[in-house]
């Protein structure tokens, strides 16, 4: 029997093998860091343009911009009001400094904003849970 394990404790793996289970137990995502504030979204104007990471922005992908977290970081964004959540990947820098002064901590793609059901309002109170850090850029 082969088991593919990703980020699980060796104790859990040993227990699964000892019990002869055929599948891994469901384990909640580990939260590495939490941040609360407002989210806004950006889309049409930036669709198809290069992001700060060098990736082409796709408004229909679950991606986001954060001012400092490493590119590739996986974040669960939860709309505080309706409890909807989406996992996004950080691919860009933002929000703009003016928006940050108003409490906006993340810019989401149109798809992410629709998933969280705030794309018509423009902004929403959110909680960010970092699930996996992206890689830090190599110094040249």
pTM of the model: 0.77
Neighbours of 89 (CB within 10 A): 19
> Greatest CA span in the chain, whole angstroms?
56
Q: What is the Rg, in whole angstroms, of the alpha carbon atoms belonging to the chain?
A: 18
Please write the tens of the pLDDT for every residue from 78-100.
999 999 999 999 999 999 999 99
DSSP per residue over 22-54, as a string? Answer: SSPPP-PPPP-EEEEEEEEE--TTTTTSB-TTS
CA dist 114 → 83, 108, 110 (Å): 13, 10, 6
> What domains are defined for the chain?
1-28 (no CATH), 33-132 (2.40.40.10)
Locate tokens 């394990």: which residue?
A: 5
Residue 66: how many other CB atoms lie within 10 Å: 22
Could you read off the pLDDT of 4-49 as tens digits, one per residue? 344 455 665 665 566 666 555 555 678 999 999 999 999 789 999 9
Q: So what's the pLDDT on residue 43?
A: 76
pLDDT digits (tens, 9 = 90+) for 96-130: 999 999 999 999 999 999 999 999 999 999 999 99
Is it true that the peptide bond before 87 is cis, omega within 30 degrees of 0? no
φ, ψ of residue 78 in degrees (nearest 5): -120, 125
What do you get for the CA distance between the two ends of the chain, in Å? 44
């Amino acid at each position: 029997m082969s088991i593919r394990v990703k980020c699980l404790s060796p104790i859990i793996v040993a227990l699964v093998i000892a019990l002869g289970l055929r599948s891994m137990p469901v384990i909640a995502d580990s939260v590495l860091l939490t941040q609360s504030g407002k989210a806004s979204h950006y889309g049409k104007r930036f669709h198809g343009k290069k992001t700060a990471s060098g990736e082409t922005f796709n408004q229909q992908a679950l991606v986001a911009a954060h001012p400092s977290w490493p590119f590739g970081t996986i974040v669960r964004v939860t709309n505080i009001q309706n409890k909807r959540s989406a996992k996004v990947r950080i691919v860009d820098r933002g929000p703009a400094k003016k928006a940050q002064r108003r409490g906006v901590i993340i810019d989401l793609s149109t798809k992410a904003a629709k998933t969280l059901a705030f794309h018509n309002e423009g902004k929403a109170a959110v909680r960010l849970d970092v699930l996996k850090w992206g890689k830090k850029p190599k110094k040249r």
